[in-house]
Structure 1
Amino acid sequence: MVLGPLEFVIGGVSACGAGFFTNPLEVAKTRMQLQGELMARGNYQVHYKNVVHAFYVIAKKDGILALQNGLVPALWYQLFMNGIRLGVYETLDNWGFIRLNGEQVSPFRSVIAAGLSGCVGAFVGSPFFMVKIQLQSMAVKDIAVGHQHCHHSMREAINTIYKQHGLFGLWRGVSSSVPRVMVGSATQLTTFSFFKQKIVDAKIFKSPHDWKNGFTASMISGLVVVFFMTPFDVVSTRVYNQGVCPEGKGMFYNGVVDCFIKVFKSEGLWGFYKGWGASLFRVGPHTVLTLLFWDQLKQACRNLHIDHKLN
């Protein structure tokens, strides 16, 4: 059993490892979600047709390094948000809250634990998430979508936002991030724990500690996450990226509910699934890598703990 702050470190490091590889997909997803904002289909120019086309266009117009736009705040976000999210969840699991009789995962308890841990992580990581989105959306005029904030670095962005709108400005949009992460976290961790337990019980692979158990469970979990999380992800991206008036209020949306209403009225149900292909390509590998790293690092720490006891 992994104890103490190490659980939070393992969660953060696991997510950072995944975030480095999947950030280009995040850039493509962000731009596709902002494309045609509050406009009906057919009434706007489509710069990004799909994730592959988005990669091509971004590399051609902005340069290949633009595919890693926002990487620094993305990694800080993963470290804080997922470090806390996975750390709190694992702590609750270690305390016996998630499992019935210390063995079988309780779906109901797992949803509560995952949602709670996701809520805390989303709140703490919110400033980095906002800066990440604003940097990822920046593009040359020919392919620009959404509001362009024109930051040159994470430090400059945070300083500018703080000087203009104070400490509260750094948490603008957190009301959209919390439900996004709560839904994603509850779906991800619950389905991962549930399916991994089923796979282990079915003895599909020889050892219960075989990495393929975690890999298979995380693949299934990634598919479920995309379906439930994408609408909240689109709304969160829109709220965080919108321009802000001198008083600190959003130019397009007054909050989460207002954004849901306006997107539905202007873009229809499909508007909530813009960039779903990029989300699938991104969330799938990110979920797989994060949970696989998380699972293997936990097992490695358990083995070290056992070896230390034996010695």
Structure 2
Amino acid sequence: MSAEKAPLPFGYTFMAGAIAGVSEILVMYPLDVVKTRVQLQTGKAAAGADTYNGMLDCFSKIIKNEGFSRLYRGITAPILMEAPKRATKFAANDKWGKFYRDLFGATQMTQGLSVLTGASAGATESFVVVPFELVKIRLQDKASAGRYNGMIDVVMKTVKNEGILAMYNGLESTLWRHILWNAGYFGCIFQVRQLMPKAETKQAQMTNDIIAGSVGGTIGTLLNTPMDVVKSRIQNTIKVAGQTPKYNWAWPAVATVAKEEGAAALYKGFIPKVLRLGPGGGILLVVYTGVMDFFRDMRDAKTAGL
């Protein structure tokens, strides 16, 4: 991602993004389950065994009532999704960055180009992830235990009952979610790297990447959580012919949640989400940068005839 390093072929960028994505999801997935559970909970009040009063209450109730393994329910879809998702994110970011530098005649990235590039990469990424996200959301819902028997069952029942296009329910809200997160993430990475001392060692580079990626992940989460809330609800809604879903389009759904539950409801699940995607953003950047450096070392050794 650095302009000072010789570029690698697209395939290496794709592979590095895939490895980074799977590494992040294995570490952070339970927080994603908790985030989704809290977001799917409607209404202002929460009491009783089947409702959650925040992140820690959700964690404890899932473990107590459903078992620890429930925190990893639905992980197959994200694991299958993370490789193409993160690979697409970083590969598209590199490609869009080159496109915009050529378009505007810029020799290096700027803050504005980083934001524009990140937003474009997020939009590209969205088309890859929507079906996987829909499967994940429906499996993470508490009610799914009696409704679906795993990932394949979700796909089969969704297609059978709602049509093949139902696998892309929530595409619009997913576009907004990923555009906002990636714009904030890559824009912040650029700015934080500019502000930090130049790394002279691998350890210093890792520290810089942890800080830049964590800041970027946090800002991206602040920007996109309202869209994530409505996306979860849109994708968890089973469409019935002749009926207009309560949560259908992104911005009207935002207005509905704010009106019925208050503006704060648009940030339901924010704490587990930011705890995942703040440090998770750092993990992504560190692993991605490390794998890309490994590929560069391999290329340079081969070129040198070693």
- Distance (whole Å) between structure 2 residues aligned to residue 164 and residue 85 of structure 1: 32
The 5 A counterparts of 1:184-263 are 184-199=181-196, 202-203=197-198, 205-207=199-201, 210-246=205-241, 251-263=245-257
CA distance 1:161–1:62, shift in 2 (3 Å): same
Q: 2:260 aligns with which of 261, 266, 289?
A: 266
Greater fraction helix: 2
1:93/1:42 CA distance change after superposition, 3 Å:
closer
Aligned equivalent of 1:162: 159
Secondary structure at 1:187 match in 2? helix
How many residues end up aligned between the 2 structures?
Answer: 296
Counterpart check, 1:13 vs 2:10: no
Unaligned runs of 5+ in 1: 140-146
Q: How does 1:59-78 map to 2 (within 5 A)?
A: 59-78=63-82
Residues 138 and 150 of structure 1 are in contact (CA less than 8 Å); yes or no, is this contact kept in structure 2?
no
How many Å separate the matches in 1 of 2:72 and 2:150? Answer: 13
* 1:89 and 2:93 aligned: yes
Identity of aligned residues (%): 22
Deviation at 1:7, TM superposition (A): 1.2
Shift of 1:228: 0.9
Deviations along 1:170-212, one digit per CA (max 9) or x if unpaired, are 111111111001100111112113212332xx23x43377211
Paired residues of 2:97 and 2:113 also in contact (CA < 8 A): no
- Name the CA shift for 1:302/1:160 in 2 (closer, same or farther; >3 Å): same
Moved more, 183-192 or 44-53: 44-53
Are 2:108 and 1:114 equivalent residues in the alignment?
A: no
Structure 2, unmatched stretches of 5+, are 1-6
- Cα deviation, 1:76-122, whole Å, max 9, x if unaligned, reads 2222222112111123445672998544x312111221111111111
Q: Distance in 2 between matches of 1:301 and 1:112?
A: 27
- TM-aligned CA deviation for residue 306 of structure 1: 1.5
Q: Is the 8 A contact 1:96 1:102 kept in 2?
A: no
TM-score if structure 1 supplies the norm length? 0.87
Deviations 1:5-28 (A, max 9, x none): 221221122111101111100000
Q: Is the alpha carbon distance of 1:148 and 1:77 closer, same or farther for their aligned partners in structure 2, counting shifts above 3 Å?
A: same
Question: Does 2:288 align with 1:294?
Answer: yes
TM-score normalised by length of structure 2: 0.89
Aligned to 1:277: 271
Q: What RMSD, in angstroms, separates the aligned Cα atoms of the two structures?
A: 2.3
